[in-house]
Structure formats: structure tokens, C-alpha cells
Structure 1
Amino acid sequence: MEFEIDFIGMNLTRMPGVKPTESITIAPRVVVEADLDYLMNFSELWRCTPDEFEQKYRPKVVGQQAESPQFEWLNVEKSRARFLRKISTNVDVVLTLFGKSVPVEEVVVEFMDGRAARATLSFYSQGTSKGIPLTDFTNTFRNVGANLGRVLNVSPSNLSASVGQTVKTVSWGWKTAHGIAMLEHNDYAASGPAGKPEFMRLKVAAPDQGDWIMGRLTGGVQPTGLAKKITATPEGDVYVLGVPMVDQGSEGYSEIACCQRLFEFMQIPFDKRQFTQLSRVAPLGAKNGASMHYFLGKVDDTFKVALKTHIDPKQLMNNSGDGKRRVSQRQFSLLIKQYVDKGIPLIWALELGRFPEEPPLPAEGQTTGGHMRLIIGYNTETNQILFSDSWGAGHELKRMGETEGYEATLGVYTLSSSGL
């Protein structure tokens, strides 16, 4: 169906080049369904390859596609798949679980060594969901738990005191021969504003992913492991491979996305909801160097990681008023090379839109203002810096001239586990 708006007789401002007798066609919204019950079939799911996953669900592709997509790949390697209720400007996806009885908000499926290994299903998130009555929240939690017991055919255990997270949660776990699951929500009765739900999620994983389920990682990657992630091309590119992709989406919190990507890369235990809690304290909406610097300081205090400030936005310029920076372009270049050669990405705060990038900034996304991304490499032959943006597939490896990157810089940091 097509909808037309006729400008004749309407008191509207016409766009340049549009005649009064012309009409505008508005694309109708399309609603598709995605039944997620396959994600509960552990005996099959953990053998599923990315190609086989595309046979189960329709991926989003570049350009026109015959059928509306149900999910999108977050990177070109197809190691992360994400389901969203609003996957594009005109496509809504109805995500359901357990015979379509439970609505789902968002899902991320992760593939390791070419097979699905774990998934996180979000039923409620304070940052993106509408408010929910406490009774409905509790009923949903019980409903999901009852269905899990029926599907997995095993009774749960209370893991609330065992989960390796600093955010206090109510957590119940199910363990079978084919996989493990943990359903959790913030302990709103014991922390924060009493009676205020903040999140509810279900984590499922293959049998060998128990540490991930429990929020326990290895406690930090070793220097020798980082060195193995450095690659060099005949064209002169030197960059760090394997930085996980996160799509910051429409919320625009690039600081949170960068930190999450680095924590996963460095194998530092964390909970994404902690970043959300920190965002209530740090003024992310300001989108300037000082606010981003303040947020990273809060991350440092909360997680006790090794945060180093190499360019401080508060001390960026000389006091003489001559417009020169305290840190020279040569120091900027050597800093990038020093850490990339160790396999450590740098957090880069900058002002978007001042200089061209390859590929160009997407017209439908952020094009100006303060932003945070990761510097992951350099090319001394072309005098370029290589970086990665938290905007999903296609943004893993991008580039900008070193001089332009230096001039646009608001701050540079490294964040790693202790000892690196």
C-alpha cells in the first residue's frame, strides 16, 4: 500500500524543487516476525554455522532485498548476529520466545570457531524499554523461568550469590548436558531505588562457556596474546585484529560501546549494565572532550583497570593562546605506533565532521559533534591512522589522514588490564 500527501490546499512548507501539484510517497512500515525458539534447541544451536543461521533467519543486506530482514550481522566475519525490534527505518521485527508467548526486545548471538557459542536475550532494559509495572515485570520473569524448566527439562539453581558481577542481581541457572542458561534481573529490592526494575535478560551458552555465563573471564589477556593479534599488509597497514564489534545504535553512547569492546577484547570481566549505570553519573549527553574524559575516569574507578590518559582534553592547548597543542603531531603519531605495536587499541575522542574519512560518515548517522572510537592501526606510507567505529558491520576498519586526525583530536587514552 502506498500513502500520498497532496500539497494542494495544505499549509505546509514545500521542499526545494517540489511543485504544488506533486505528491510525496511515504514507504509503509513493514512488520515481520522472528520466532526465537530455535535458540533454546541447544543440541542443534551449538553446531550451527553462520551460513546455516542464515537459513533459519533472514539477514539484513546492503541494498534492496526481496523479503524484509529479521536480524543483522554486526561484523563482516559474521561472528555476531543481532536481532532488534526496529531493524531499519521502515521494518519492525516482532521477536518472540516460547511459542510466541514471551516478547523479546533484543538478542545478540555470538559465534566462536565457526559455530554458535552463546547468546544474550534481553526482555527489558530501562534505557530502551518503556516503563513496566513491577507486577508485569515479576510475572514475565516467572513465565520465562517456568518455560525454561519445561524446555530444558531440568530444575534451576539460585546463583544470585555466585555471579561474578558488581551489579547485584537475582540470578537463576539451568545446566544440562547440551548447554547452560542463566536468567537474571537487577536486585531492585536490595540496591538502587527500591522496586525499580532496570533489566531482565537470559544468557544461554554451550557447555564450555560456563565462565562467560557466570560473568567470569580470564582476568585479562597476556602481552603475548596481544602480540599475536597484530597484522601487517603489503600496502603498509599495521593494525590490531579481533576487536569485537558493538553497534551503539540510535542511543549514541559511543563511550559505552568503546569500553565494552575493549573489555571484551582484553578479556576483562564486566557487566554492560554497569556502563549504563555509570552513564547516569557521567554526562554523556554533553558530547565533548571533558564529558568523555569524566566518563572514562568513572570506568577506571569502578572496574579498577589500567586507564592511561595520553591526551587530556582539559590540557590540550598551550596556555600561551597561540593555538598550538601541548602534544605535537609527531608525539601523536609515535603514541599510536607504540601501542598498536603492542596490540593495544587506543580510545580516541574527537570532533566529527571536520575532515574527510574513508569510507565517508553515513549520512543517516552522526556526522558532527563529539564522538569516541578506537584507533587500531596506522600506515606510515600513506600517513593514515586506522580506526574502528562502533556502528556495526562495515565499520570495523576505517581510515583518516594522520594530520587531520591529529587536528580533530579531543583526547586519547588506553584502557587495559593491569600490567600491560
Structure 2
Amino acid sequence: MASHPAPRCSPLRFWRTLACLGTLVLTGSLQAQQPAAPARPLDSLTGENVWQTTADQFQQHFAQTGLQWLSEKRDQARFFGPGLSLWQGRLPVTEALINFSPEGQPTRISLSIFNRGDSNSEFMTREKFEALIEAHRATIGQQLGVPSTERGKDKTTTAAAKAPSVTKDSLTANLKREENGDVLIANVPMVDQGPKGYCAVATAERVFKYYGIPVDQHEMAQVADSSSDGGTSPAKMYEALNKLEGRLRVRVRVIENWDYKTFMDMVGDYNKEAKRADKREVSAAPRDGTIYIDEIYGAMDGEVLKTSRIGRDRSGFGKFQRSITGLIDQGIPVMWGVMLGLLPEPEIPQAAGGHMRLIIGYNLKTNEFLYTDSWGAEHALKRMPIPNAYTMTTGIYYMEPMK
């Protein structure tokens, strides 16, 4: 999530998978010219026996195609990046997701043929986009010998079909309380946003899937107007989630949101502490009427900011901790907006700037929050001291089922 200027199968079964699950995600733009990538054919996904393979067989068969498992449970696999295609290269594929049953067999295949987050929008016009849709539609219809179905007219995508499959009272069954003090929400699905700025919509997708609602990050990106490099602003993300409240039967709540006055007060407190610690103060003066939040945060010393935020706002720090632990105790994951680069975090793909992640647990013995990033299985569970977490926080949101 980037910060923003402020205050400014059988063939028939396979086709049904494409049509009903929205895998023809043509929400993007024309790919910029790139050097030819090595071919990575996915033709085997359309075979009759793909639904009878085991996870081990799937791994062996696609080992050279760049298969990635999104969780240690191996309940979802992913292909991503250049060179993917179907039918001897006739249909390019940007991303493929394969869901597996607890018994280890494929149950659903979702193909993203084109999407805004992984494509370059510079040269795409409406006419070119519609022509691209028709070309892909013709290719798919010719290969499978069945007509396409408009997803928007599919009765399975009604609000009732996408209502949560869990109730608020049932969520505590997902809590694990370990002897070491960990209180952790288990079973939060992993989503890999890839290299694009989709952290906010990918985080939302994970919460929706945790509640049993089949919404994906590309759908969310369309509603929230996310871009590949610019990400999603907190305001637009909150607005998008509010639009979906009634349809998806969830309540969207804000614990902390970006606020101009609060931000300026924080800068003032920081400068007082920086002066006391003989560190450089920062300027929040606008340029051409715009305040560049990333630049202000980038000029701050993380330790000075931690001292100023906690030392000058003990009640705010206490509320932050109580609010999050209270939600975790209810089995509700917390959508956590942060500013990276303030404090050391080794081995993360994004070194600085706005980001969104999920808090899924806590440990009061070690004074840590347990969290997860939407960057794949290796980022499924991490830990951070609660004071550090408070220091880098830019927003706190959560969703809960209405029933």
C-alpha cells in the first residue's frame, strides 16, 4: 500500500471453472514490450485426469513450471509471471491458482489471463481492451467448443452466495493458545500479492476467505481502484469495503485511520523528542499544497519516533494494544496499515513506504504481536515487539460477519 499526498477437467468442467470463478480477469491493460520469457506451458491443467492427481503428483509434474505453494498445508498452489500459457501458447496466462482439498486433490482452478495489477496500463485504450477480450473469448471458445458465460450474469455471484459461511460467535474456534504465551488465529489463508502494490486488497481477500467468502484481490482492486505501482490509498480501501458491506454481509470498522491533525501532532511530538535527543528535526511544510508523507517518514529516526509516540501518548498506546488483543480474542484478524523502513525488518520484499499486513495473534509474555504479510508462505507468521508495531502504525481496520 503506497502512501498518498495529503490532505489531497474435462474441457466442459474446465470452462465452467473459468466462467463461474471469474478466472477471465480482464481488468488490466496492455502488457509493455518485454523480452521473450521462457515458455511455461500449463496445458496439463486442461486435461481430464488433472482432478484425480494428488498434491505430490502435481508438485512433481509442474516442478519445472515454477509451482509455488502458498501455505505449509499445501491447500493452494500458484503459478505466476512471464511465459505462462495454455494451448501451445495460444492463450497467455498471468497467474494460475489451484485449490486442493484436505485429501490433497485439486478442487478448483482459477486463471488470470489479464489483470490491471500485473500489466502496464500506459498504452491501453477502451477499444484495445474490448478487442483483447473478444480475442481471448474467441480463443477459449474455439479450444473448448463451448460458449462463454458473462460472470456478471451468473446467478451464483449473488450476495447470498457470497455471504460469510461462519458466524461471529464461531470464530473463537480458530484460536490457538500455546504454552509459550502465543494466542494465534489459525486457518487464515495466504494470498501472494506478487510484486504489485496490492497489499491492501490482498489483505482484504485473506480476511474474506477466512470468513468463507470467495472474493479475490483482482475484484477488490477493481472496486478500490488499486494500481500496480501506486497501491491503494487507505481512504479508497475503506470506501471500497464499505461498498461491499451489505453485499457480503460484513461490518467494516476503523480503530485508527489517517488524520491530518493527528499526523501533524505526531510530527510536532517527534521534533520535540528529536531536539531533546540532538537528532535532526523534520519538516512537514507542504510543497505546492501537498504534504509528502513518505518523505516525512523517510526523514525520521525510528527510535526517536518510538520514544515520542509512546512517551507522549501512553493512553493511545494502551488503547492500541487493548483493541488488537481484544479482537484477536474474538478470532478476528486485524488489517494493519504500517510505514515500512522506520525500524529494521530483515528479509522483506518492500524496504520502505506504506504497506498493509494482518495481525493474527499476540504474546503478552514476550510483549509481541504476531502478524503475516501477503507475500507467500515464508511470510505466514512473524513477530514484532508491540512498541515497534505501534511506532509504524498508520491505520487499523477490521471486518466481522454481521451474524
TM-score, structure 2 normalization: 0.69
State yes or no: 1:47 paired with 2:52. yes
Structure 1 residue aligned with 2:112? 122
Question: Secondary structure of 2:357's partner?
Answer: strand
Q: For residues 250 and 128 of structure 1, what CA distance do their matches in structure 2 show?
A: 8
Structure 2 residue aligned with 1:3? none
Q: Which AA in structure 2 matches 1:398?
A: K
Post-superposition shift, 1:377? 0.2
Q: Which AA in structure 2 matches 1:144?
A: I
Structure 1 unaligned runs (5+)? 1-28, 59-67, 87-93, 167-213
Q: For residues 116 and 286 of structure 1, what CA distance do their matches in structure 2 show?
A: 32
Q: For residues 59 and 231 of structure 2, what CA distance do their matches in structure 1 show?
A: 40
Change (3 A) 1:282 1:326: farther
Q: For residues 78 and 342 of structure 2, what CA distance do their matches in structure 1 show?
A: 31
State yes or no: 1:236 paired with 2:181. yes
Q: For residues 404 and 254 of structure 1, what CA distance do their matches in structure 2 show?
A: 20
Change (3 A) 1:106 1:284: closer
Q: Which AA in structure 1 matches 2:101?
A: M
Q: Which AA in structure 2 matches 1:76?
A: E
Change (3 A) 1:126 1:297: closer
Q: For residues 160 and 61 of structure 2, what CA distance do their matches in structure 1 show?
A: 29
Structure 2 residue aligned with 1:20? none
Post-superposition shift, 1:215? 9.5
Structure 2 residue aligned with 1:104? 93
Post-superposition shift, 1:361? 3.5
Structure 2 residue aligned with 1:267? 212
Correspondence 1:190-209 to 2 at 5 A: none
Q: For residues 286 and 270 of structure 1, what CA distance do their matches in structure 2 show?
A: 18
Question: Secondary structure of 1:391's partner?
Answer: coil
For residues 14-46 of structure 1, give each alpha carbon's deviation from its aligned partner in whole angstroms, at most 9, with x where no partner exists: xxxxxxxxxxxxxxx99543332222234x323
Change (3 A) 1:30 1:161: closer
Q: Which AA in structure 2 matches 1:35?
A: P
For residues 168-195 of structure 1, give each alpha carbon's deviation from its aligned partner in whole angstroms, at most 9, with x where no partner exists: xxxxxxxxxxxxxxxxxxxxxxxxxxxx
State yes or no: 1:148 paired with 2:93. no
Q: For residues 149 and 240 of structure 2, what CA distance do their matches in structure 1 show?
A: 34
Report if the CA contact (8 A) 1:109-1:120 is conserved: yes
Structure 2 residue aligned with 1:227? 172
Structure 1 residue aligned with 2:373? 389
Post-superposition shift, 1:332? 1.6
Q: For residues 152 and 257 of structure 2, what CA distance do their matches in structure 1 show?
A: 40
Q: For residues 252 and 225 of structure 2, what CA distance do their matches in structure 1 show?
A: 20
Q: For residues 55 and 147 of structure 2, what CA distance do their matches in structure 1 show?
A: 31
Change (3 A) 1:103 1:281: closer
Change (3 A) 1:274 1:137: closer
Structure 1 residue aligned with 2:238? 296
Post-superposition shift, 1:319? 5.8
Change (3 A) 1:217 1:139: same
Question: Secondary structure of 1:251's partner?
Answer: coil
Question: Secondary structure of 2:106's partner?
Answer: strand
State yes or no: 1:350 paired with 2:350. no
Post-superposition shift, 1:374? 0.3
Report if the CA contact (8 A) 1:104-1:122 is conserved: yes
Q: Which has the higher strand share?
A: 1
Structure 2 residue aligned with 1:162? 154
Q: Which AA in structure 2 matches 1:274?
A: E
Structure 2 residue aligned with 1:366? 350
Q: Which AA in structure 2 matches 1:162?
A: D
For residues 58-96 of structure 1, give each alpha carbon's deviation from its aligned partner in whole angstroms, at most 9, with x where no partner exists: 1xxxxxxxxx6522222222222111234xxxxxxx222
Q: For residues 115 and 319 of structure 2, what CA distance do their matches in structure 1 show?
A: 42
Question: Secondary structure of 1:249's partner?
Answer: coil
Q: Which AA in structure 2 matches 1:106?
A: E
Q: For residues 173 and 317 of structure 2, what CA distance do their matches in structure 1 show?
A: 28
How many residue pairs end up in the alignment? 316
Structure 2 unaligned runs (5+)? 1-34, 270-307
Q: For residues 128 and 283 of structure 1, what CA distance do their matches in structure 2 show?
A: 6
RMSD: 3.1
Structure 1 residue aligned with 2:66? 70
Post-superposition shift, 1:387? 0.2
For residues 198-224 of structure 1, give each alpha carbon's deviation from its aligned partner in whole angstroms, at most 9, with x where no partner exists: xxxxxxxxxxxxxxxx99345342134
Q: For residues 337 and 108 of structure 1, what CA distance do their matches in structure 2 show?
A: 33
Report if the CA contact (8 A) 1:346-1:412 is conserved: yes
Report if the CA contact (8 A) 2:41-2:65 is conserved: no
Change (3 A) 1:47 1:222: farther
Q: Which AA in structure 1 matches 2:342?
A: R
Change (3 A) 1:97 1:85: same
Post-superposition shift, 1:156? 6.7
